[in-house]
Amino acid sequence: MSLLIRQLQVSLTQQSILTNQVSALLQRVTSSLPAPLCRLAPTNERHYRTMPTHGIGRWKYLLPKEVPRKKRDKLQMKPIRGSTATEYGSLSVKVSGYDMTVVEHYSQYIHNLCNRLGVRVSESYALPTKSTEVMLMQEQGTKMYIDALLKTHERIVQISSMTATLCPTFMDVVLQNQPEGVQLSVKEHVERDFLERFKARPQLEGLMAQVNQRD
């Protein structure tokens, strides 16, 4: 700042013309010369590291850590691959049965087998359990009473690509290791199968039906 003023003064004396504007400018400049450097800008209030007052005024670190609540994203469907001349498209291998441990172990076996044989598994999930009530007629009378409650568990291993040459071998291994009491089915994966995973929302469906009816 002082250099600037000195230059101005030099130019002025050289020209030897002292206009009102220039004098006013000079006065404004001299009057606005700052005193202590630390008050130049309001953000520059931190004290240097070696100063004893370093870190004075910090308070945010004292507050308890607030974990931001993650909003769970809606499950997205992975793209369904179509079949080519040498490869099958998206297949879903469904394992179902009454005994949950056997069903789960068999689906885990199939998944591990796919990993070992190089068949790419896109997803591995469970469908909601279906309960079946077995009702018997009473010997004397017409009333039915509940005899047993059977729960059918279903597990699905979704395969994204399998070569046609590997398929017979893979199917043979899987069928020969099928345990008793477990049903196996290998089908093409369709979008409807994906939608089956979600719970039915009767209120929403009723409203949609109403809206469609009006149209």
Partner 1 sequence: MSAPVVKMAGRCFYQLYKLSNSAGRLASGKTGIRQFSGAVVQNAAEPWRLLGAACVQRLAVISVDQRPLEAKFSELMNQMELERSLMSDHELSLLDDKERLRRRQAVDYDSDEEEEADRDQDIVLTQDLEDAWEQRLKGFATQPRARGVVDARLERADRCLAEPLLLLTQQEVGPERLWLLPQTPWEAGETLKTTAQRALSATPGLDLQTVFLGNAPCGLYKYRMPRSVRDREGLTGVKVFFFKAVVSGPLPPPAPSSLWVRQSELKDYLKPSYLEKIRPFLLNL
Residues that bind partner 1 (CB under 8 A): 164-169, 171-173, 175-180
Of 156 and 162, which has the nearer Cβ to partner 1?
162
Of 22 and 100, which has the nearer Cβ to partner 1?
100
What is the C-alpha separation between 101 and 108, in angstroms, rounded?
Answer: 11
Shortest approach of partner 1 to residue 196 CB, angstroms?
25
Shortest approach of partner 1 to residue 79 CB, angstroms?
24
Of 1 and 175, which has the nearer Cβ to partner 1?
175
Shortest approach of partner 1 to residue 149 CB, angstroms?
11
Of 60 and 143, which has the nearer Cβ to partner 1?
143
For 80, counting Cβ atoms within 10 Å of its Cβ (0-12 exposed, 13-18 middle, 19+ buried), the class is middle
Estimate to the nearest angstrom the gap between the alpha carbon of 148 and the chain centroid: 41
Compute φ and ψ for 80, nearest 5 degrees. Answer: -85, 125
Shortest approach of partner 1 to residue 180 CB, angstroms?
6
Q: In angstroms, how far apart are the furthest CA atoms of the chain? A: 131
What is the C-alpha separation between 24 and 48, in angstroms, rounded?
Answer: 38
